[in-house]
Structure 1
């Protein structure tokens, strides 16, 4: 059985080695001790979310990429392919069939209805996956509340 900390360490080490960087370079950039980073990479220490984010930033690697890599590694170790989490309760399709069709509002819904020829429903195959990429840090905008 693969432990989560080992999978995270493997992913971080592969990323560092792919960049031809030393532990010292990454530890200095991430502001973590060289020994602790080594322990994290070897799966001996659990990295906090803050530490993991700092290491990923030092590697110029999105945290989401590391987590996806770890998810894939864990799934293959379990003998299963990575997939979407199981739903609890009725499936989305069952809920849609049970609920009365409500017309969508707004111009986007009107154009979707016109394009699909339906009233508020878009014809998408059940096995279709919609992928929304994670935002990049430079794309994020901080808004100060009043």
Structure 2
């Protein structure tokens, strides 16, 4: 069974943060100076972003890198617990 991919969780959390901020991909792209295509790939979990790029994205969302990483940590821990409860190896 496939393990947890951090890039996918980061993408999910960024998408949630963007939705909460009421922003479109294009708005975040312009505000963060990250290309629309690359931002989309990050949100879909297809690309891994550097800490600098992530910092730029969360800044455009009015958030911080620590908030992003905290939310990712909680989501990963939840997935690990769920997998352990049903007996899936990570």
TM range (shorter): 0.7 to 0.9
Secondary structure, counterpart of 2:49 in structure 1: coil
Instruction: Structure 1: state its 5+ residue gaps.
Output: 81-146
Secondary structure, counterpart of 2:18 in structure 1: helix
Runs of 4+ in 1 over 6 A off after TM superposition: none
Q: CA deviation at 1:19?
A: 1.3
Secondary structure, counterpart of 2:23 in structure 1: coil
Q: Which residue of 1 aligns with 2:60?
A: 58
| Distance of 2:22 and 2:67 partners within structure 1 | 18
| Superposed CA RMSD | 1.0
Q: Which residue of 2 aligns with 1:38?
A: 40
Structure with the larger RCO, 1 or 2 (CA within 8 Å, 6+ apart): 2
TM-score (norm 1): 0.53
Q: Which residue of 2 aligns with 1:13?
A: 15
TM-score (norm 2): 0.85
Secondary structure, counterpart of 2:30 in structure 1: helix
Higher CA-based Rg: 1
Q: CA deviation at 1:66?
A: 0.6
| Distance of 1:31 and 1:62 partners within structure 2 | 16
Q: CA deviation at 1:10?
A: 0.6
Q: Which residue of 1 aligns with 2:29?
A: 27
Instruction: Structure 2: state its 5+ residue gaps.
Output: 83-90
**Count, aligned residues:** 80
